[in-house]
Amino acid sequence: MPKQIPAPLRGVITAMITPLLDRDTLDVAGLERLIDHLIGGGVNGLFILGTTGEAPSLSYKTRRDVIDHTCRHTAGRLPVIVGVTDTSFSETLALARHAADAGASALVLAAPYYFSASQRELVSYVQHIAAESPLPIFLYNAPTNTHHVLAVDTVRKLSELPKILGLKDSGANMMYFHKMVWAFRDRPDFTLLVGPEELTAEAVLLGGHGGMCGGSNIDPKPYVDLYKAAAAHDLTKLRPLHDRITQISATVYRVTNEDSSYLRCLKGAVALKGICGDALTEPFQPLNATEREQLRRHMVAAGLLDS
């Protein structure tokens, strides 16, 4: 049975990488090790097939493989939340139905990411998806990737739909997030999560419910501890944890200056932990030997790897 989603969903939900054997073949053993690593580290949910999961670059077959194996291995221990964003309405619904059949708990839906659309059109789009979706949905504000911002009024209107549970905001605009917290001050059941892990502490301190943290793939503990300290408003514990998360983002993710650095370094870091390999979807390539050694040094300095 799928794990039920609490209202609101609180804590650290890992935006999972997709372990691969090559550009489009799932590494099943690596995926299972990663899931056990995350559950053992105390995360509150698994978000698969998002940006960190390289979903837009994966074939539909591999996306279905990720859903099937994640749900089967998780076996109801945590909520499994599946990204179904696609440029095709029909393919989005097909993935949603497959996720429901596999035992997922909920979906994540961003705006289609090719054509421009008005807020009115986005409202209609989500309404139509929700009407046919077999699972509840978290909205996903991801303007860098979709070139659309889900306006506060748009989210508020869509929150009236019974299947809309909350919002993941990856816009890295805290003014937007604070306006969202204010807009939902009378809806304590509506989940508000941030994507950028550097903003998790601030978001939780000021009314949000947690974060979908990609860095927790490497080591869940500092992210889980950060959330707990923020939720308890324990600034003494929070400050060094926030500094450590910032250090990871500033060094471990930035071994190269390329736009793909985050994905390449994150997968490289998980590989250095021995959890899975570092294969990526095209056009991205794993770090070279020099970059990998630099990454190893940064991980040691950040306490993510023994020297």
pLDDT at 256: 87
Q: How many CB atoms lie within 10 A of CB 116?
A: 9
> Mind giving me the DSSP string for 79-105?
-EEEE---S-HHHHHHHHHHHHHHT--
Please, are residues 191 and 167 in contact by the beta-carbon 8 Å criterion? Answer: yes
pLDDT, tens only, 137-192: 999 999 999 999 999 999 999 999 999 999 999 999 999 999 999 999 999 999 99
Mention every residue, 6+ apart, whose C-beta is less than 8 A from residue 121.
none
Mention every residue, 6+ apart, whose C-beta is less than 8 A from residue 247.
301, 302
Mention every residue, 6+ apart, whose C-beta is less than 8 A from residue 66.
18, 26, 31, 48, 49, 53, 58
* pLDDT per residue of the chain (307 residues) written in tens, 0 to 9: 687 899 999 999 999 999 999 999 999 999 999 999 999 999 999 999 999 999 999 999 999 999 999 999 999 999 999 999 999 999 999 999 999 999 999 999 999 999 999 999 999 999 999 999 999 999 999 999 999 999 999 999 999 999 999 999 999 999 999 999 999 999 999 999 999 999 999 999 999 999 999 999 999 999 999 999 999 999 999 999 999 999 999 999 999 888 888 999 999 999 999 999 999 999 999 999 999 999 999 999 999 999 7
Burial 120-154 (b: 16+ CB within 10 A, else e): eebbebbeebbeebebbbbbbbbbeebebbbebeb
Domain ranges of the chain: 11-232
pLDDT at 207: 96
Alpha-carbon distance of 59 to 94, in angstroms, equals: 13
Distances in Å between the Cα of 62 and the Cα atoms of 57, 104, 109, 188 are 10, 16, 19, 37
Q: pTM of the entire structure?
A: 0.96
Q: Which of 52, 24, 25 is nearest to 38 (CA)?
A: 52
Q: How many CB atoms lie within 10 A of CB 25?
A: 13
Please, where are the H alpha helices in the chain?
A: 28-40, 60-74, 89-102, 119-132, 143-146, 152-158, 174-183, 200-205, 220-231, 235-251, 261-272, 289-301
Can you identify the CATH homologous superfamily of domain 11-232?
Aldolase class I (3.20.20.70)
Alpha-carbon distance of 29 to 114, in angstroms, equals: 34
Alpha-carbon distance of 131 to 262, in angstroms, equals: 36
